[in-house]
Structure formats: structure tokens, C-alpha cells
Chain A
Amino acid sequence: MANKEKLLASAQKYLSKGQIPKAIGEYQKLVGAFPKDVRNRQKLAELFSREKRNEEALTEYEAVAKHYTDTGFYLKSIAVYKQIQKIEPSRVDIYHSLAELNEKQGLIGNALTEYRNLISFYDKNGMHHDAIEVLQKMAALDPDNLNFSAKIAESLMASGRNEDALEKFQAIIETLAEKAEHIKVVKLYERFLEICPEEGTSRLPLARSLLKSGSPDKAIQVLKSLLKHLPEDPDINQCLTDAYVANQDFANARLTLNHLLKLKDDDLDLREYYLRICLDAGDVDRARDRFEEWKDTFIHAGRGTVLQDFHEELRGAFPGDPMVAGMFSAASRAVGDTAARDELDVAAVVSAESDEKPSTQKTLTAGLELDLDLDLEPSTVQAENAHTVAAAAETIAEKEVASVADVAEDIEIEIDIDLDDMDDFDLEFDEEDVFSDQDPVEKNEIKAAEEVDGVVFEEQELTQDEALDDAELQAFDTEAEGAGEGLSGIDTDELEGDEGLEELEEIEELDDLEELEELDELEALEGVEPRIADEPSGKIDSVVALDVDTELEEAEFYLQQGLFDDAERVVLALMEYRPEQPELLAKMAEINQGRQAAENESENTAFVDLMSDLQDDDLLAATDFLNALGGAAQGDDELSQKLVSELDSADTESHYNLGIAYKEMGLYDDAIAEFEKAAKDPVRHLDCTTLTGQCHMEAGATDAAMQAFKRGLTHEGITDQGRMILNFELGMLYQLNGQLLDALDYFQLVAEKDSFFRDVSVLIKNLRRELGLDDDSGDDGGPQGNRDRVSYV
């Protein structure tokens, strides 16, 4: 032991003389003789480091670090590894060791910082596989942090594993979308767009997020691009509709939704959406027609309130319109509002009570087939539904008249009636009476008598001129007898109306076809879907006219989406029948023009422009998402701080102790970082502030030290004792800095509270003497140097 003390004394002696190599020699002897005394080894390492003998320093430091790790002194071990890192910053294993030790100590934030440093290193060196491994460790430490997942995806992408990257990326996007983090979604796409193929729907979330974050025009741009590959995708079309609506472009919204409805015809939500768009666009005529067409399906689905809402709006647009009034009846019936129904100015006269509740679906096919579907469900239908039947019959009659007007040849009427429990169904139309008077000015009556297993529809009277002028069909009385329980519905059971056909053939003889052509405009007809594909050549004009309108809308939709081939296909199909129709020619020209314009701009460029636009926007500037990981080496960024505060809040004591360890080893920056973390604990705040200031002081940064102490003084919860300590430290600092008057002030503040605090009285006395303020001779106390500056006049 005596030898140890002798060696230590000798080493100290050399150190005090600045003879470092000799001191190293003495410490080497000490380490050799007492290898378990790790303090001597640590001192030896420090001396090697000071002498720039880095290899030897590293060897000794590693031995010390290992010793501390093995004995469970992780904080000390961390401090030693930090020293090693300082000497040799490129040692990857040290980052690993530091990360693991911090993790063991519960300092998750610090561990993540070390891992970040590693990732930065791996990234710079293109070691993506290693980076991914580290990222996976980080993700395990903080599984809720999507930054890690994003960085993993980025590394996968960088290493060419695009499929894996896309999978990871999509998982992140899904999570972000659930959290409604739309701006982050857009930001992420900025980085990952290249791995998202345009052929699928992988860019659909981008469009949705653009839409949600207030950039519908950009969303439309993305969606149009997607639509080129998947024109029939309902999700894309739905999103595109939403985007158009958000952009107040109701015309395109309606076209898109119209297209979507072809894909999802039975979707009542979409139908409701369609009606809403029509109304929003001010296209109330269309809204009314579609309302009429779809109302029964809403009622069947128990969504009568929707009808009522729409009806309210329509009634405002068409006051006194009998069709709208009829709708109101349907709407109010659907919601059981009999009082409202009583107020109804019923246009259609219901002459008989019926249990049938018909639903109509009209299909006009080649050769003018008129299909009538009547779903009769006695279990749900009330007697007062009869007027709806009447309305349906009116519609049929209208169709007949309209059709008749256009018929040239081969007229065939098909009436499909679905009867659940009926074997026999007979429907008679007395067209002869109806069309006997062909003078359009005179009243024409259409009488239809329908017998359905005892149920007779009769006295269907149509005043043709009124029908032409007002689209009103009145005096259509329906008498249903014995429909009873057995009549559950009438469906598409095709009946050849031989008699009817004969009579309709007579319509060829009608003189004034032009006038009858006006019937094309009848709303009832517009709802009839054409079957162009099946149409033989030589179709009647009315059908073609109908098809033209409908199909032109579809062509317009394709055109608006930049789907020129599809648009062209639709128009060409129409032109087969009407090659010279100006509308079609114009549309074709429009398509060609659009195509040419689009060819000048490649799709990729459009995307680049899009992302470029986004970057210019405040949209992306508003978030620095992922930037934290982008600058992985910077561990003190906002994200890191947030992480640390979230993860380490419960472990301020470890940070405090680690700070002490760093400070003892002269690692002031690291120590300060730890004290700042530990200062979040109110119990440790004052200590940490003081120690931070001391670290700055010892590092020679007096200004920073002053700031630290003064910041401590402004802390809300500071106690008198704490204030005294900080004032004393400030006094010491000012004295050290040669600002003696200021030093005196601070010491006096301390002495005011407790003149026996540390040696403040002695310090004050010495300062006063030094400043010439203290003068035992009892003069006026003015400083000696001021005497000649003071003059009495």
C-alpha cells in the first residue's frame, strides 16, 4: 500500500510540473501493480488522450468501460464510452454499446439518439441493410413512432426492395389516414411516390389526403391519372366525385357520379349523393326526374326521410307541380306523415284503394320494348299506395304515347310484371280507344284496362294535349280487386301484348309525328335506360336521341378525366346510328383536341409538377415530418426533444446522474444536455440549473453560464434558498469575470438573506476593499479613484 501511495504521489508531482509522460509512466506502474483499481486506469487513459496517444488511450478506456458495464455502473460506463467516441467518432461498435447501455439504464431518448447517429453513418456509407436493422431496434423501442417505420421504408427503397418498401409505406399511410394526418400523408408521398405504381390504387390515399387537406384540385389531378388505368374503380370514382364537389365543380361531380352509379347501381347512398349534387348544381329538373325514378327504392329501404328532405327542396323549385306533389305523397307516406299528405294537392286521382305498392323499372330496348316491372308487396304496402300505382301507370301511358310518336316499325311492347303468388296475370291496354283520335289538338283518351287475376286497372284516361303541354297525366284510375294477400308483387314476367301490339302498329299511321316527337322530353322517358349494344340497325329516332343524351354524358365524363379512348369509343358507337349528328361531331372534335393537349404533357411531368406545387405550398411547409430522421445526426431537434420528453420523463434521476458523470469527466456539452433533460423534474430543477451554469463556467463560457443562472432566477417555483444559491453563483461568476461591482451586488443579495451563507461576508469584505469601497479610516466612503472626479461648485 505504501508503494501505491508513493507511486500516486510521484505521479501527482509530475502532473503538477506538467511532465505528462513521466506521470504516465507512474500511472502505468500503478495500473500494473493494482490492475483492479479502475480509477488509476481511467486517469492513465486521460493522460494518454491528452498526449494524443489515442490507441493506448482507447485500450485503457475500453478496459474501464467494460469494468463499469460488468459491475453494473452503466452511467459511468456511458461516460467512458463517450470519451472513447470523442477520440474515435467513427467506431460503429461504440454507438451500439452506448445505445444498449442507455437502453439498459432506461434512457430511451439517449439510446434513440445513438441509434440515429448510427443510421446517419450507415446512410452515408450506403449500408442500408444495417440501417434497417438499427431502425427495427428503434421501432421496437418506440413502436408508436411512425418516423421509424417511414425511415425503414425509405431504407428499403434505397436498397431496391421496392415491394417491401411499398408494403411498409402503405401500412404507415393507413395509420396516418386513420389519424386524419392528411398533411403527413402528402408529405410522405413526396418521398415515396416513385415506388407507388400508377396502375393500382396505391396513390389513392394521396388523393384523399390532398382532398382532406384542402387541395381538391391537386387531388383531381392525381385521381385523373389513376383513372386512366382503372376507369371502373369505384373508390377512385367516388373520391373523384368528392374532389369535384369540394372544388364546386358540380357538373363534373355529377358526370363522375353518374359513371359510378353504373358500377354501383343499387347504392342508395350514391343515389342520394347524386340527387344532392343535382340540387347543389341548381339542376332541379334532373333532380326531380331522378327522384321520381328512384323514390320507391328509397321507400323500400326504409329511407323515406331522405325523400321528404329532397321533396321539400323540389317543392320550392316546382310549386304546384303535380309530379312533385306526387313525390311528396310518396315521401310523406314513407315517413308516415299522414297529416302532411292530407295537405297534398293531389294531382293523380286515386279511385280505388289498393294493397299493391308498385315499383317501376322501365327499360326501353331495341325494337321499342317497354318493360314494366311492378313489385307488389302486400305485406308492406298500404292501401293508399294505390295512387303510386296510378302514377306508375301514368308513366307507362306517357311512354306509350311518346313511343308511339316515334315508332316507325316493329313496335313491340313488353310488360314485365313480377307476381310472387300469381300464376295468371293479364294486362290489357285498350290502345284502340286511346289512339283512336289522332288529332293532337283534340282530347285523346287512353284507356287501359288491366286485369290482374281479378285486379282490373281500368279507365286510364290520358288527355293528350295536357300531357303534351304540362306533362300531366290525369284521370288514370286504377281499380284493384282481389289483389289481397296473394298478390305480393308484379315483376318482370314478360308478356307479349298481342292486342296491344296490334293496336300500336296502328300508330304508324299517325300523321303528326313531329308533334309526338316532343314526347321525347317527357320525364318518364328520360329515366329509361337504353340498350345500345343490342340495338339492331334501323332503330327509331327517339331511342337514338335518348341514347345520345345519356351516352354523351358518359363521353363527357371520360373526356373530362382525360380518358380520350373511352370517350371516343362511346361517341363512335353513337355515330354508327347518327353519323352526321352535329353534337357527336362536336364532341369528337373536342376529344381530339383534348387528346392533343394531353400528349404535350407527359404523365410523369404532371406528377413532378404536382409535387413541386405542393412543395411551394404552405401545405408541406407546415410540417417537418420525417425531417428529423432525414437529419439523423442531429439528436437535439424538435422531434428528439419530444421523444425524450415522452419517453424519459420518468427517468430524470438517471439523466441527472449521467450529467454528473459527464461533468466529472469534463464532457460538459454532454453533461449540460443531460442536466437539461433532468431539469424537467421540479425537484431537480435548481440543481440542474446550477450544474448547467457550472459546466458552462468550467468550459469557459461565462456568458452562457450567466444566462443559465439568470434563467434559474426567473423560474417560477424558485425558493429563497434557491435564489440565494444562484445569486451566489452569479456573484462568483462576475468576480471571476472581473466585474466586481456586479459581483458585489449579487453577494449582497445573498448576505441580505443570510450573511453566513458560505463565505459571502468574507467575499463582500474583500470585494469592498478591492473596489476601494471599504475604508476603515472613516472617510466619506467614496472610492479613492473618484475623489478627483467629484467637485463641489
Chain B
Amino acid sequence: MSYLEHFGLGREPFSNAPDARFYFNSDQHSQALLRLMYAVDSNKGLAVLVGGVGTGKTTLARRMLDNLPESRYESSLLVMVHSGITPEWILTRIALQLGVVEPTGDRLKLLKQLYTRLLEIDDEGRRAVVLIDEAQMLQSRELMEEFRGLLNLEIPGKKLLNIVFFGLPELEDCLALDEPLAQRVAVKFHLKSMSVETTTSYVKHRLQIAGARQMLYDAEVIPLIHRYAGGVPRLINTISDNCLFEAYLCKMRKVDTRTAHRVAGDLGLLQQPLSELPRDKANNDLAEIESMLDRLEQKQ
């Protein structure tokens, strides 16, 4: 019997894999989405969403994509997976995603093709939107200049392309590589870590989506999880998931505080709760935790 069966769950409630089913519409995510949609709907050109590791950027990017119906938007989400990409590469990919048929290898002709396509989209009464996730990987000035060039594709009084960057705080450094581009950021939103109350709602939400019939954590456990996770959703998921697994091993119906402490200890979080760490230290540790979580996920 898996722990899913033990707790009567239909699916894993705290997987860190992107899953729109588990989208949790917290107040700040709702506010962020509102502003990003405003930027797109009013043709602001460039909008940026910045958040720490695991704060829900990717989730929000996907949520935004869901909010852009094809009837009104020609939209695409590009997820940067490595930092070695070239300007031509990204330009070609954007052209393809926006519907340019057989993009040429010549940069200038490609830009012409893209411009023609953008005009078509505009004629259809739609807006062209490109969302870039993990945008902190765009680490060269050339790339930034390319995006600035794209933002210049416009007809009098109207931009033809809207771009939204989602990324870690390092994204700010990338933007600084091209000051004129940095100045074109029309909307910027910072995702912060969750409060205890939001964490409680978040955990309940995930459990409910997973098919839980009851609360699987003692009331005192959630504040503990929040404390050890520093309010970071991804860490909350990890701790919560491990707690459930431990409770399953102990044949418990609910996670208690003892289990939570034990899990935190196993994850190396017991001595110094993240919420009490200085910011830089916490960031460094977050990187370590990140790699540790990656390892854990690989094990699973």
C-alpha cells in the first residue's frame, strides 16, 4: 500500500512538478496576474515577474498562458533551460511560436517575416504575447538587445509584441545589461514568500485537489512547516510530502509535530529555521536546498 492509498489520496498532493491542477490562487499570485494581464491588455510591451526559488513563478506563467485564449491572443511560453542560447536561436523560436511559417536563417529577413506575422495578428484583432520563463538565463547583452529590438516592432501608436519575463532575482542583473531595455519595463512584480495563513490555505488546497477527505496534519504542524520552509512553496511541498511519507511509515492517520520536526532534521533544516536566517545566508542555503531537492526528486 502506498502512502496515497493509506491517506485515501487520488494523486500526490505535494509534487514539485508543474501541475496546473494544483494552482493555488493566493492573494499575491492573483495580484501579480492582474498586473501582468493589464500590461498585456494595454500593450505595455515589457513586464517582469521576479521571485525566489519555488515561489510559484512557473506556475504563474502557466496560469497566465491559460488566461490568454487563442481567440484574443497569439501567445506562447518559452522556457529557458540553459544559458548558452544565442540571439538567432531565440528569435527563430519566437517566430515559430508566433506562427511564422518556415523562418529563414537570415536575421533581417526573419525580422521582416516576424513583423509581417505580427501585423496579421493585429489585423485579426488579437495581441501577440510571449512569456519567457526562467528568464534569468538570458545572461548576455546581445540577448537583451534582441528583445529590445523585438519590442520595437510596432505600428504608429501601438506595440505589436508584448513580452513577459518570469525569473529569479538575478533577472534584474540581466536587464541591467541593456539599460534601455531595463527602462522599458512597464510592470514589475515581486513574488514573496507565503504567510502562515496562506501556507495553511495552500496545504489544504493541495490536499483537497489530491482528493483528501480530511485534514492530514495536526493544527500545530502547518506553522512548523511554514517556519522551516521560510514560506517558500516548493519547500513547503517538500516538507509536507516527507511528513506524509513519514506518517505513513508510522501508520499514523495525521502528521504530528514530532514527525514534522524529524523531517526538518532529516532535511537539515532543524537547527536554523529559514525564516530566521539573514537574507544572503538564506539565499545560499536555498541554493543548497534546491540541489538537495533535485537529488531527492531524482531518487523518487
- Do the two chains bind? yes
Which residues of A line the B interface, CB within 8 A? 741, 745, 748, 751-752, 755, 768, 771, 773-775, 778, 780-783, 785-786, 789-793
Residue on B with the closest CB to A760? B208
Contact B79 A791 (CB under 8 A): yes
* Beta-carbon contact of B66 and A783 below 8 Å: yes
Which residue from chain B places its CB closest to the CB of A754 in the assembled complex? B208
> In the complex the two chains form, is A780's CB within 8 Å of B65's CB?
no
- Give B61-75 as 1s and 0s: 1 = Cβ < 8 Å from A's Cβ atoms: 010011100100001
Residues of chain A within 8 A of B96, CB atoms compared: 791
Least Cβ–Cβ distance between B146 and chain A, in angstroms? 13
Task: Assess the B97–A791 pair: CB atoms within 8 A.
Answer: yes
Pull 27 A–B residue pairs with CB atoms less than 8 Å apart, ordered by A: A741-B66, A748-B208, A752-B205, A755-B208, A768-B21, A774-B21, A775-B21, A781-B17, A781-B18, A781-B19, A781-B20, A781-B22, A782-B18, A782-B62, A783-B20, A783-B66, A786-B77, A790-B65, A790-B77, A791-B78, A791-B79, A791-B93, A791-B96, A791-B97, A792-B78, A793-B79, A793-B93
Shortest Cβ distance from B15 into A: residue: A781
Q: Is B80 an interface residue (CB 8 A)?
A: yes
Q: Which residues of A contact B25 (CB under 8 A)?
A: 745, 748
State whether A752 and B208 are in contact (beta carbons under 8 Å apart), knowing that A793-B90, A793-B93 are contacts in the complex.
yes
A790 touching B66, Cβ below 8 Å: no
With the chains together, A45 CA to B201 CA distance in Å?
53
A402 CB to closest chain B CB (Å) equals: 94
Residues of A within 8 A of B89 (CB): 793
Partner of B78, one of A752, A781, A782, A793: A793
CB distance from B100 to the nearest CB of A (A): 13
Asked if B76 contacts A789 (CB within 8 A), the reply is: yes
Given pairs A775-B21, A786-B62, 15 additional interface contacts (CB within 8 A): A745-B25, A748-B25, A748-B205, A752-B201, A755-B208, A780-B18, A781-B17, A781-B19, A782-B20, A783-B66, A785-B70, A789-B97, A791-B79, A791-B97, A793-B79
Please name all residues of chain A whose beta carbon is closer than 8 Å to the beta carbon of B75 when the two chains form the complex.
789
Identify which of B17, B66, B81, B204 contacts A780 (C-beta below 8 A).
Answer: B17
User: What's the least CB distance linking A88 to chain B, in Å?
Assistant: 47
Q: How far is the CA of A773 from the CA of B67 in the complex (A)?
A: 13
Complex CA–CA separation, A545 to B215 (angstroms): 109
Q: Please, how many angstroms separate the alpha-carbon atoms of A782 and B63 in the complex? A: 9
Contact B81 A792 (CB under 8 A): yes
Q: How far is the CA of A600 from the CA of B18 in the complex (A)?
A: 91
Interface residue tally for chain B (C-beta within 8 Å): 32
Residues of B within 8 A of A752 (CB): 201, 204-205, 208
B85 contacts partner chain A, Cβ-Cβ < 8 Å: yes
Which residue from chain A places its CB closest to the CB of B68 in the assembled complex? A789
CA–CA, A391 to B86, complex, Å?
Answer: 117
Q: Which positions 92-150 of chain B face chain A at CB distance < 8 Å? A: 93, 96-97
Specify the chain B residue showing the minimal Cβ separation from A779.
B19
A781 engages B21 (CB within 8 Å): yes
Which residues does chain B contribute within 8 Å of A745, judged by CB atoms? 25
Closest to A748 in B: B205
A768 CA to B79 CA, complexed, in Å = 24
CA distance A792 to B89 in the complex (A): 12
Contact of B21 among A751, A755, A773, A790 (CB under 8 A): A773
A750 to chain B, nearest CB (A): 10
Separation in Å of the A573 CB from the closest CB of chain B?
86
Q: How far is the CA of A792 from the CA of B21 in the complex (A)?
A: 21
Chain B min CB distance to A777 (Å): 12
Q: How long is the Cα–Cα vector from A122 to B139 in the complex, in angstroms?
A: 82
Docked Cα-Cα span, A751 to B97, in Å, equals 37
Known A780-B18, A781-B20; judge A741-B67 contact (CB<8 A): yes
Using Cβ atoms and an 8 Å threshold, which residues of chain B touch A775?
Answer: 21
Contacting residues of chain B (14-54) with chain A, CB-CB under 8 angstroms: 17-22, 25
Interface centre among A745, A768, A780 (most CB of B within 10 A): A780
Closest Cβ neighbor of B138 among chain A residues = A793
CA distance A153 to B47 in the complex (A): 67
Q: What separation, in Å, do the CA atoms of A102 and B17 have in the docked complex?
A: 64
Bound together, the chains give a CA A716 to CA B43 distance in angstroms of 37
B77 contacts A789, C-beta separation under 8 Å: yes
| A99 nearest CB across to chain B (Å) | 50
Docked-complex contact B76 and A773, CB < 8 angstroms? no
Give the 3 A-B CB pairs with smallest separation, nearest first: A781-B19, A790-B77, A781-B21
In the assembly, what is the distance between CA of A179 and CA of B93, in Å? Answer: 80
Cβ contact of B77, chosen from A774, A778, A791, cutoff 8 A: A791
A793 proximity list for chain B (CB < 8 A): 78-81, 85, 89-90, 93
Residue of A nearest to B90 (CB): A793
Complex: A780 Cα to B12 Cα, angstroms:
12
Task: Check A791/B20 contact, CB under 8 A, given A748-B205, A786-B62.
Answer: no
Residues of B within 8 A of A778 (CB): 11
User: In the complex, what residue of chain A is closest to B93 when comparing beta carbons?
Assistant: A793
The complex places the Cα of A780 from the Cα of B16 at a distance, in Å, of 11
The chain A residue with its CB closest to the CB of B204 is A752
How far apart are the CA atoms of A210 and B85 in the complex, in Å?
83
CB neighbours of A748 from chain B (8 A):
25, 205, 208-209
Distance of B197 from chain A, by nearest CB (Å):
12
Q: Min CB distance, B190 to chain A, in Å?
A: 23
Residues in chain A near residue B97, CB distance under 8 A: 789, 791
Residues of B within 8 A of A790 (CB): 62, 65, 76-77, 79
B205 — which chain A residues lie within 8 A by C-beta?
Answer: 748, 752
State the Cβ distance, B5 to closest chain A Cβ, in Å. Answer: 16
Q: Is the Cβ of B76 less than 8 Å from the Cβ of A791?
A: yes
Contacts of B77 in A (CB 8 A): 786, 789-791
Q: How far is the CA of A780 from the CA of B17 in the complex (A)?
A: 7
Q: Which residues of A contact B93 (CB under 8 A)?
A: 791, 793
Q: How far is the CB of B234 from chain A (nearest CB, A)?
A: 16
Which residue on A lies nearest to B24, using beta carbons?
A748
Chain B residue numbers with a CB within 8 Å of A791 are 76-79, 93, 96-97
Closest-CB distance, B263 to chain A (whole angstroms): 24
Residues of A contacting B213 in the complex (Cβ-Cβ under 8 angstroms): 755
A771 to B208, CA, bound (A): 18
- Per the bound structure, the CA–CA distance linking A755 and B85 in Å amounts to 46
CB distance from B57 to the nearest CB of A (A): 15
| Residue from A751, A773, A774, A783 in contact with B208 in the complex, judged by beta carbons closer than 8 Å | A751
How near does chain B come to A759, taking the closest CB pair, in angstroms? 14
Tell me the bound Cα distance from A77 to B76 in angstroms.
61
Q: Name which of A745, A768, A778, A782 has the most chain B CB atoms within 10 A of its CB.
A: A782
In the docked arrangement, what's the CA distance between A791 and B85, Å? 14
Closest to B61 in A: A790
Once the chains are docked, how many angstroms separate the CA of A785 from the CA of B19? 15
Instruction: Please give me the residue from chain A that is nearest to B73 by CB atom.
Output: A789
Complex: A752 Cα to B62 Cα, angstroms: 22
Q: Which residues in B have their C-beta under 8 angstroms from that of A771?
A: 66
- Within 8 Å CB of B80, what residues of A? 793
Least Cβ–Cβ distance between B237 and chain A, in angstroms: 14
Closest Cβ of chain A: how far from B109's Cβ, in Å?
21
Report chain B residues within 8 Å CB of A774: 21
- Which residues of chain A come closer than 8 Å to B90, judged between CB atoms? 793
Interface centre among B20, B62, B89, B204 (most CB of A within 10 A): B20
> Which of chain A's residues have a CB closer than 8 A to the CB of B208?
748, 751-752, 755
CA distance A159 to B228 in the complex (A): 85
| CB of B151 to closest CB in A, whole Å | 18
A741 and B11 alpha carbons, distance in the complex (Å): 21
Question: CA of A792 to CA of B78 in the docked complex: distance in angstroms?
Answer: 6
By a CB distance below 8 angstroms, the chain A residues around B85 are 793
With contacts A786-B65, A793-B90 taken as known, whether A780 is within 8 angstroms of B78 at the C-beta atoms is no
CA of A518 to CA of B252 in the docked complex: distance in angstroms? 123
Residues of B within 8 A of A783 (CB): 20, 66
The residue of chain B having its C-beta at the shortest distance from the C-beta of A789 within the complex is B76
Query: Which of B65, B77, B201, B208 has most A Cβ within 10 Å?
Result: B208
Looking across the interface, which residue of chain B has its beta carbon closest to that of A756? B213
Given A773-B21, A780-B19, A791-B93: A786 touches B66 (CB 8 Å cut-off):
yes
A781 and B76 CA atoms in complex are apart in Å by 17
Which A residues touch B76, using CB under 8 A? 789-791
